[in-house]
Amino acid sequence: AQTVTQSQPEMSVQEAETVTLSCTYDTSESDYYLFWYKQPPSRQMILVIRQEAYKQQNATENRFSVNFQKAAKSFSLKISDSQLGDAAMYFCAYKGADKLIFGTGTRLQVFP
Amino acid sequence: EAGVAQSPRYKIIEKRQSVAFWCNPISGHATLYWYQQILGQGPKLLIQFQNNGVVDDSQLPKDRFSAERLKGVDSTLKIQPAKLEDSAVYLCASSLDRRRDTQYFGPGTRLTVL
């Protein structure tokens, strides 16, 4: 069975600085997708970024980028120029042939 | 483009009562999902619909939970009777298809069972 592990329950960063959130996963599938979702206190899950496993190029969305290491089964999220509005829970998720599987989340605090 | 709509946003009930949640997916999305998110955890899939047929309900507690998606659009999730451990946020999501496409989530319904 596939698993997703987020080993950092909490992280903090100062405004305008860069922070990296870690995620590892375990799978025997070759075709899958990886996601980072943001969940602010409003509880709505918001898609941050998506990576197709067959693509070697790391996905980027404005200030958000990933470091996808397929052999190591690692999928970290880098947030550059952190803003107060980035404060939220961040969930890493895996989607193969079966259901979408989430990690336990990392709470990101942003300090002014 | 309108997002996934859910109602109510909050619900407080006593144990053994029944409750229902409603979800309207993004227009044109064939696949609809219901998730349960207990405080401090990631969402867990309860049931997945493809149009109006059930694709996966393996983690749905069928003795008390039921869900339907009439006409392949809106969906209702019901709990009857509720237990204390059902206190959670119930998230609805939709996607164009179930294999490749990204899931988009609604705002969720926070259920408190007293």
CA distance B80 to B67: 11
Q: Can you tell me the mean pLDDT for B64-78?
A: 93
pLDDT reading at B88 higher than 80: yes
CA distance A63 to B6: 30
Shortest CB distance from B102 goes to which of A4, A47, A102?
A: A47
- Distance from the Cα of A81 to chain B's closest Cα (Å) equals 26
CA distance B67 to B55: 12
> If contacts are CB pairs under 8 Å, which of residues 5-44 in chain A contact chain B?
33, 35, 37, 42-44
Cβ <8 Å between A100 and B108: no
CA distance A51 to A63: 16
Mutate to test the interface with B, among A100, A102, A106 (most CBs of B within 10 A): A100
For residue B37, give both structure tokens. Answer: 């998110």
Q: Can you tell me the mean pLDDT for A60-67?
A: 96
CB of A63 less than 8 A from some CB of B = no
The mean-pLDDT minimum among A54-63, A71-80, B82-91 falls in A54-63
Shortest CB distance from B103 goes to which of A97, A100, A103?
A: A100
Give contacts of B110 with chain A, Cβ < 8 Å.
Answer: 43
Cβ <8 Å between A43 and B42: no
Mutate to test the interface with B, among A45, A54, A90, A91 (most CBs of B within 10 A): A45
List pLDDT tens digits, range B17-45.
Answer: 999 999 999 998 999 999 999 988 999 99
List pLDDT tens digits, range A90-103.
Answer: 999 999 888 899 99
Q: Can you tell me the mean pLDDT for B79-93?
A: 97
Cβ <8 Å between A43 and B45: no
Cβ <8 Å between A44 and B102: no
Q: Where on the phi/psi map is residue B38: left (φ > 0), alpha (ψ -120 to 50), or beta?
A: beta
pLDDT reading at B1 higher than 80: no
What radius of gyration do chain B's Cα atoms show? Answer: 13
* 8 A C-beta contact, residue B36 and residue B88: yes
* 8 A C-beta contact, residue A94 and residue A105: no
Per-residue pLDDT at B70: 82
